[in-house]
Each structure stands twice: as C-alpha cells, then as structure tokens.
Amino acid sequence: MKTLVLIGGGHSHAIVLRWLGLQPLADVRLILISDVTHAPYSGMLPGYLAGFYSFADCHIDLRTLAKFAQAELVLDAAIGLDLQTNQVFCRQHHPIDFDWLSIDIGSTPATINIPGAQEYGIAAKPVPQFLAAWQRFIAQKFDRAISLGIVGGGAGGVELALTLQIQLQQLCPAGAAVHLFHRQPELMNSYANAVRRRFTEVLIDRGIKLYLNEVVESISLSSDQTCPQVAPDALKLVRCQSGLSIPCDQVIWVTQAAAPSWIRQSGLSTDEQGFILIKNTLQSLSHPHIFATGDIATMPEHPRPKAGVFAVRQGQPLFANLQRIITGQSLPPFLPQQRYLSLIGTGDRQAIGTWGNFCTRPSKLLWWWKERIDRIFMSQFPNSDSL
C-alpha cells in the first residue's frame, strides 16, 4: 500500500482532510504529522484575543478531523526530510516513509538576531505559544498604566495593535498605550494605497503610537527612573537604530514571515527566504511528488502575500491534485485570484472591507458579515460531538 503523508495541520490540510473524509482514497495509507492537536484558524484569532470567540470556536480539532479522514495522527514536529529515501524525520517519532508528501506548516515571524528579542519579546507564531504567553501577561494585576510594543506593521501587526489595545484598556483602568514599530515608511506594504491610508487613519484616531521608518535593534530590561511607580525590572526598553527608545511592559513580534531552516536543508527548491518554490499545480518545482501550500509555499508565477486566505483557497485544489497524482492523472493548474475581498477587524466588533484599491470605513455590518463567513468556514469541520 502506498503512503500519503501530510505535514502540518494548516488551513489547506484541514480542508484536504475534510475532503478525504468525504471521498476516501482507495488503498492509500494516510498520515498526518502535526505538532499540535488543535490548529488555530487565523481569520478568528484576533476575535479570540478580543474575547469574542471561545477556543473551540476558532480551533480545528485535528484528532477528530484525522479520525474523520481515517488518517493516522502522529503528534510530533517534522524536523527534516531525506529526499533520496523519501522519509520524514520527526523530533521523537521514528522516520516516516512516504510515496507522496504535502507540506502546510505555515511560517513564523522572522525574529531576527536582535539582542533581547527572544528573552524579552513574544513572537506572534507559533500561535499556541503566543496565546499562552499573552494569557500569562494579562493574568497580572495591573494597578498602573501599562504599555505594549508591537514590532511589525503588516496586516497581522495592525490587527493585533487594534485588538489588544481594547483588551488592555479594559484590563487596566489606569491606561494602556500601544506602540507600533515598522521599518518601512508605510504600514501594510502588500496592500493598496487606499487601504494603508485608511488603517493609518484608524490607528491614529485610536491613539496608537506609530513609529514608521524605525528599525528595532534591541530590547533590554529598563531601570527607567522616570517611571518611579513601576518596579524597575517590569519594563523593557525597545531601542531603534535612530536612537528612539520606548519603554514597554510587553513586546510582540509580528515581523516578516520566515521559514524553518530544515526545509532548505532538505534539498527542496526554495526562494531566498527559504520558502518552498511551487508550480501552479502546487507541486514542488524540484520534487513533483511533494506538494506545498499556505505560507510555507511560494508560487513564483503568481506571488501572493502570506495570508490565511490563500492557504484556504489552495485547500480544495490541493485535494484534487493529490487525488489525481495518486490515480495517475494529469494535474490542472491552480490560479489564485488577483483581487480578493479582505475583511479586517478593528478589535471593536467592526471591520474594514478591502477589494483591490477600494476600502471601506470601519463598519459593524462588515464585522457581522466577517463573523458569519468565519463561522461557516469553521462549521465544515467535524468536532468531537459530531463523530
């Protein structure tokens, strides 16, 4: 019997597993390797942080989904590939043989080698670690004004700044300041001008402090005596190359997406950042029996931002092409949409809608619509009660 191995329970693989449950592949052993039991759905993550959703609302239970798809679930992290022998190496599990492989493991913020970044900052990904660190931070009793630093002004950083500001203001009656650091002159570089302008306006209106063209070069503990009411070691100092230096109680990294080094080391063709280069059939450029989707993949013919919406869109075509390669058929190309609707929450049960260069104002109706779309997306996955 031949074996199809899926690494990572990202958005595309969740959809593939659902399809495999509905249309099982005959005589194929199916293995899912995942380092988590519950995969977060990115579209609802900011709403979860804002307290609008429960954990179950915005996490896909991979144990139930694997059971539905009749896949063996290996709860472990993949850490390498042998492309000569077609094996996946895991942190603990013995090597796993495959005939076909699909990789959907997302990305992590490029935390760069900045002094203090690891010790004194939290990376927004992996999401479970981020959520745990954030819960620990907000579990403290805040009897003084606090400040949060967010490094990275892409869509994720902007959405987090808007969401966490509201949460902190509720938790901390003495006041909460949010500082957003971005190395480029404008926020949200992959979006159209109108979208960038609208979000900049909203952030400024909401009193979020923007530091554009600022490159963070270190984070250290501060003994800032200008804040006498604060225990000296409670504050971190975010220093920028320009000399700017801002005290923050917590710092979150939402910088440019990065790929784990084992991907490049495995010998798969990658781009300069180490993401797997794929054809428009979602197959690796160098190894056609290996597929990749979501953030970890780069399609040079049709480059798109690293966003959950693309990982979702690739799910059904990935299932179709896996089915076709296994049954010896030719693979049709997948052409991602050029323009797409994006509904981005502003943390206050409102959302801004964007379509190409068109951008709305924050609207409660658009939040309602976004919530509906996201809940419909999540409702397609079986939960433990439904099996």
Distance in Å, CB of 223 to ligand FAD, minimum: 31
Distance in Å, CB of 279 to ligand FAD, minimum: 18
In this complex, which beta carbon is closest to ligand FAD, that of residue 39 or of residue 240? 39
- Which parts of this chain interact with ligand FAD (CB under 6 A)? 7-12, 33-36, 39, 42-43, 45-46, 77-78, 104-106, 124-126, 156, 159-160, 254, 294-296, 306-309, 311
In this complex, which beta carbon is closest to ligand FAD, that of residue 167 or of residue 220? 167
In this complex, which beta carbon is closest to ligand FAD, that of residue 98 or of residue 247? 98
Q: Cα separation of 106 and 92, whole Å?
A: 21
Distance in Å, CB of 346 to ligand FAD, minimum: 12
In this complex, which beta carbon is closest to ligand FAD, that of residue 285 or of residue 296? 296
My answer on whether omega of the bond before 260 falls inside 30° of 0, hence cis, is: no
Distance in Å, CB of 147 to ligand FAD, minimum: 19
In this complex, which beta carbon is closest to ligand FAD, that of residue 78 or of residue 246? 78
Distance in Å, CB of 307 to ligand FAD, minimum: 4
In this complex, which beta carbon is closest to ligand FAD, that of residue 208 or of residue 235? 208
Which among 21, 385, 352 has a CA at the least distance from the CA of 159? 352
C-alpha 83, offset from chain centre: 27
In this complex, which beta carbon is closest to ligand FAD, that of residue 42 or of residue 283? 42
Distance in Å, CB of 106 to ligand FAD, minimum: 2
In this complex, which beta carbon is closest to ligand FAD, that of residue 132 or of residue 174? 132
SS3 for the chain, per residue?
A: CEEEEEECCCHHHHHHHHHHHHCCCCCEEEEEEECCCEEECHHHHHHHHCCCCCCHHHEEEHHHHHHHCCCEEEECCEEEEECCCCEEEECCCCCEECCEEEECCCCEECCCCCCCHHHHCEECCCHHHHHHHHHHHHCCCCCCCEEEEEECCCHHHHHHHHHHHHHHHHHCCCCEEEEEECCCCCCCCCCCHHHHHHHHHHHHHCCCEEECCCCEEEEEECCCCCCCCCCHHHCEEEEECCCCEEEECEEEECCCEECCHHHHHCCCCECCCCCEEECCCCEECCCCCEEECHHHEECCCCCCCCCHHHHHHHHHHHHHHHHHHHCCCCCCCCCCCCCCEEEEECCCCCEEEEECCEECCCEHHHHHHHHHHHHHHHHCCCCCCCC
Q: Cα separation of 247 and 252, whole Å?
A: 13
Distance in Å, CB of 301 to ligand FAD, minimum: 19
In this complex, which beta carbon is closest to ligand FAD, that of residue 146 or of residue 164? 164
Distance in Å, CB of 232 to ligand FAD, minimum: 30
Q: Cα separation of 59 and 290, whole Å?
A: 27
In this complex, which beta carbon is closest to ligand FAD, that of residue 74 or of residue 235? 74
Distance in Å, CB of 255 to ligand FAD, minimum: 10
Which among 129, 29, 135, 14 has a CA at the least distance from the CA of 63? 14
Distance in Å, CB of 70 to ligand FAD, minimum: 20
